[in-house]
Structure 1
């Protein structure tokens, strides 16, 4: 029922993942619209955005929604805003984020990254996931396990990424909070003002209708007394 009439090819699917229908500008406008309509205080919404943006600097690919939601609960932020905030991380920003986080992490740990970051990071993520799957399978079947790929992934990617992502993640998250808070406050004030104007207009029209009915009733009563 919900299948496409013209299924996308592999190439089209990859391109759609990198460039959504309507472009990233349209996607950003959608996120902006959803954030504005959230029924919560500006501070809670901004805290949610802050932890959502921060989460994109962590190496928990595939789990960013869960991490952002958990952090939103901890800081008493809006969970939906946190989920929307994770869209700061997308195919156009993940590589720069990874490069900055990994290089900074290795610098802080006093280690070196083997190979080009943007060339092998996702390959190491894949190999680590593959090793985890087969080692879990080996544990159930009694076959020998090999954690070499997982150890390389931990030392070369995960730990440096986790440590190095803290500084730019915190900085960018706080910047997002600082920028979003006054904008959301201004939007909500303007929206409350518009709602007040509409409510006053509704009350005015209701009062006019009630007054017109009262005048009509008084006029009919006066005519009845005159005829009597």
Structure 2
């Protein structure tokens, strides 16, 4: 209910908004930040959810980030809605630098060579791998030969180094976001509680005055 839209967007409009939200990414970021701060939960659980969501954006499980973030948040006893919102950290403006940093770190850890041209075709490699996987699955049912060589190369050169290499920058980025968001959420909730308390006190005083009259 928190994130449900009142208007149903056509698929092409939804895709366009994902690539470039109306009002730009700055406005979209402020909207998500506002939503996260207003979540009805403790600052610690919300911050842990943010940690899970940001960390998830450094994993190569594209298309499953919501699921992965929810699982990690659940294991950390974090706020799941906050984790889903925090996956916004990974967007079309940040996916390439996140992917390149993860791949460089992964190849460094594994002692393998990093392809300097991968940043120009990172998403293409994932799309091609998905296409190969689909074709091979269809081939199993159509009695056609399946070729797994492309997926094998993708796993060794991209997916596995990305998965291993994303751990370190993911933990660092998620921890920074956790430390920054926790005090902000605490202050916001304290101020909000103070405003609500002041509002009820004002209502109570007016009621007492009316009763006295």
Distance change >3 Å, CA 3–CA 128, structure 1 → 2: closer
Number of the residue aligned with 1:69: 70
Q: Distance in 2 between matches of 1:207 and 1:160?
A: 68
Distance change >3 Å, CA 91–CA 2, structure 1 → 2: closer
Q: Distance in 2 between matches of 1:121 and 1:196?
A: 52
RMSD: 1.7
Contact 2:45–2:79 (8 Å) recurs in 1: yes
Number of the residue aligned with 2:206: 205
- Aligned-pair distance for 1:110? 0.7
Distance change >3 Å, CA 201–CA 169, structure 1 → 2: same
Summarize deviations over 1:165-189 as a string: whole Å, max 9, x none: 0000001101111000000000101
Please give the TM-score of this superposition, normalised by the length of structure 1.
0.85
- Aligned-pair distance for 1:113? 2.6
Contact 2:96–2:122 (8 Å) recurs in 1: no
Q: Distance in 2 between matches of 1:3 and 1:208?
A: 51
Summarize deviations over 1:63-108 as a string: whole Å, max 9, x none: 1011001111110000000000000011111110011100110010
- Aligned-pair distance for 1:2? 5.2
Number of the residue aligned with 2:22: 21
Deviating runs (4+, > 3 A) in structure 1? 1-4
Number of the residue aligned with 2:106: 105
- Aligned-pair distance for 1:121? 2.0
Number of the residue aligned with 1:30: 31
Describe how 1:163-174 pairs up with structure 2 within 5 A: 163-174=164-175
In our comparison, the structure showing a higher alpha carbon Rg is 1
Unaligned runs of 5+ in 1: 213-228
Number of aligned residue pairs:
205
